[in-house]
Structures are given as C-alpha cells and as structure tokens.
C-alpha cells in the first residue's frame, strides 16, 4: 500500500465532503482527482503531498503516518519520495534548466539528469536560463525536475489545463513514460476530462 488516507479533515472541509472516509492507493497505480474549479481537488492534492497540514484524520505513506512525523521529517519524506509538477510550473527564473532540474536531486546522480535531458529533448537548452525558455521547454524542465530524484510518487496539479489536445497528449505521454521508467505512481488533480483514461482510479472530488 502506497497511501492510506483516513477520515481526512481540513479547516475548509471534511473528507466526507470530498472523498470516501478511507482512500487507499496501491504502489505503481495512478490516481486522478477530477472536478470543477474550486471543488477542493488542489487542496486535497496538497494535503496528500504534505504541503498543507491536516487538521484531523491521517495520511499514511509507506507505513509512515504524517501525524507522527515532525515538520523536518515530512520535508525529508517529500524530498526523497515525491516529485512535483506545479500548475504554474514554478521554475526558478535565474537558474538554468539544468540547475532547476538538479535542484530537486539530493543524491547527485548526474547520469540520471543526463538521461532526463535526453529523454525530454532538453540537452540543447540545458544551460539556458529558465526565464528565457519557451512554455513548452519550461514544461519539460518542470517534468524533468519532478523526476530528478527518482520519486515513488509524482504529484501533478492541472498538468494540461492550458494546453490544446495535441500538447496535452504529448505532456501526458512524457509524464507517464518517465513514471514507467522510474516506477512512480502519479497523483494528479485536474478539471480536464481528456486525460481520465490514462489513470487507474478516477475520483470525482466533491461528489
């Protein structure tokens, strides 16, 4: 079992308002949180990824209870196990593409960075500042950053919301291909129904 989410509560809602009182996610399985804007799917994603503190209930990741971990231990858990693809990409503009990717890598595996640069067709731009990249290049850098630490879970918030069909398909292909290589699970939050078929479990948040 990768995740076990029990009776989750937050200041703004109870789990009952969002998802079942017990939600389990198996290893190597992909979960999609789908729903309209403002339904709480991003909040749920942030809670599961440990970016937001839970008010009540518990989230257990690989046997480790979030409520039992200190803030520092939770930071370490996130750094070692999770990769993030943010809705606004959130690259650090004054760093190069290569630096943005290696920023998330804590084990100094240069070989894996080179592999990602090649796989995502970024070698040519690796020394270009992130602020100077096109949106497509920046999106690929953000995916590479999420994979740099060979995470067991990739969290993606609205990964295709601003993309046309072709690009949305391309981005999801990249994410799933790389997740397959590293054996990572993907947990994504979106209102984009085009990508539903790719996930093992689709949870309609707020229904």
Comparison of 94 and 207: residue with beta carbon closer to other proteins: 94
d(CA 200, CA 207): 19
CA 123 to chain centre: 23
Residue 61 or 82: the one with the smaller Cβ distance to other proteins is 82
What's the min distance (Å) between Cβ of 116 and other proteins?
14
Q: Which residues bind other proteins (CB under 8 A)?
A: 42, 46, 51-52, 71-72, 75-76, 78-80, 82, 84, 86-88, 90-95, 99, 102-104, 106, 145
Instruction: In whole angstroms, give the CA distance from residue 73 to residue 24.
Output: 22
State how far the Cα of 28 lies from the Cα of 155, in Å rounded to an integer. 13
Rg (CA), the chain: 17
Nearer to other proteins, 21 or 73 (CB): 73
Residue number with CB closer to other proteins (75 or 132) = 75
Cα-based distances in Å from 139 to 68, 122, 184, 200: 35, 11, 19, 24
Q: From residue 138, how far is each of 7, 69, 171, 189 by CA, in Å?
A: 37, 33, 12, 20
User: Shortest distance, CB of residue 81 to other proteins, whole angstroms?
Assistant: 9
Smallest separation (angstroms) from other proteins to the CB of 113: 10
Q: Whole-number minimum distance, CB 50 to other proteins, in Å? A: 9
Q: Which helix (H) or strand (E) holds 155?
A: strand 153-157
Q: How far is the CB of 200 from other proteins (least distance, A)?
A: 25
Q: Are 122 and 137 in contact (CB under 8 A)?
A: yes
Find residue 85's DSSP bridge partners.
156
- Give the nearest distance from C-beta 109 to other proteins in angstroms: 13
Q: Which is nearer to other proteins, 106 or 194 (CB)?
A: 106
Smaller CB separation from other proteins, 81 or 160: 81
CA–CA distance, 26 with 16 (Å, rounded to integer) = 21
């Amino acid at each position: 079992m990768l995740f076990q989410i029990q009776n989750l509560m937050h200041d703004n809602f109870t789990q009952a308002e969002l998802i079942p009182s017990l939600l389990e996610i198996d290893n190597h399985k992909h979960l999609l949180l789908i729903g309209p804007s403002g339904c709480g799917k991003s909040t749920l994603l942030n809670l599961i990824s440990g970016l937001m503190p839970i008010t009540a209930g518990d989230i257990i990741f690989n046997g480790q209870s979030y409520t039992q971990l200190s803030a520092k231990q939770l930071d370490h858990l996130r750094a070692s196990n999770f990769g993030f693809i943010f809705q606004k990409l959130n690259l650090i503009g004054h760093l190069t593409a290569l630096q943005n990717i290696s920023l998330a890598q804590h084990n100094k595996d240069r070989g894996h960075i080179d592999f990602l640069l090649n796989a995502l067709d970024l070698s040519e731009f690796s020394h270009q500042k992130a602020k100077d990249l096109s949106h497509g290049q920046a999106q690929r850098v953000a995916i590479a950053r999420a994979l740099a630490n060979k995470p067991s879970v990739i969290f993606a918030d609205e990964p295709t919301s601003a993309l046309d069909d072709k690009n949305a398909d391309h981005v999801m292909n990249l994410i799933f291909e790389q997740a397959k290589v590293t054996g990572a699970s993907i947990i994504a939050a979106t209102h984009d129904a085009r990508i539903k078929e790719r996930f093992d479990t689709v949870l309609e948040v707020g229904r």
